[in-house]
Amino acid sequence: MDSGTEVPEGLNVVHEDEALVVLDKPAGLLSAPGRGAEKQDCLVARALARWPEALIVHRLDQATSGLMLLARGPEMQRALSICFAARDVHKRYEAVVDGCVRGSAEHEDEGEIALPLMADWPRRPRQKVDAQGKPSLTRWKVLARDSVGHQSASNASQTTRLALFPVTGRSHQLRVHLQAIGHPILGDALYADPATLARSPRLLLHACELSLPHPRTGALTIWRSRVPF
């Protein structure tokens, strides 16, 4: 990094080069500005103080923490957007969800969710599963199962820590898919029931790994972020 330019407060820089910047977004911070003066503070606005040419390529939900990629200039924005469109960018998330997640008898610790998604217009910004929606695919793998209060027979008393691999990149995809199969993410103010929402002061969803062919060199590049929960 250029030691002559101070990193703005609230920015955790994971990587910086002439083509792109990778930042670790905290939970609760918008990715890009919204409508109204109270929604102008965001990751991109903070980044512009150090990288005036920074441009957004993808977003994380405000409640989600973790890795976000910014392009340095329009040429790199186009190149990275092509990478995303071609699904050459691979993302890994971790989440803690309500209940005991199990797959099939042959593969109980892994599986996938293939449910079409679309905007729930009367309740924006919520999304919903709908047969008329866009095809959406999430792969998951169990990292740990935890019984709370020694009541392992009660599904409601358990949580499961999952690694999540979104194949498509729909808005709120991971949150809606997990809620749809009966395992909402703890602390999810949009999709969890009140009891599950109350189990965490924040959404327990973190973008912990990001990999892609570097737009300058073509070399596979991987960045990681420690899961804060």
Those residues whose C-beta lies under 8 Å from the C-beta of residue 18, and which sit 6 or more positions away, are: 72, 216
Catalytic residue among 17, 24, 41, 61: 61
Distance CA 196, CA 148 (A): 13
**Is 61 considered catalytic here?**
yes
- Nearest CA-CA partner of 172 in 227, 110, 129, 212: 129
Long-range CB contact pairs, 2-11, < 8 A, 24+ = 5/50, 6/50, 7/50, 8/46, 8/47, 8/49, 8/50, 9/46, 10/46, 11/43, 11/46, 11/47, 11/50
Pairing of strands 110-114, 220-224: unpaired
CA dihedral 13, 205, 213, 11 (to 10 degrees): -10
Instruction: Kindly list the catalytic residues.
Output: 61
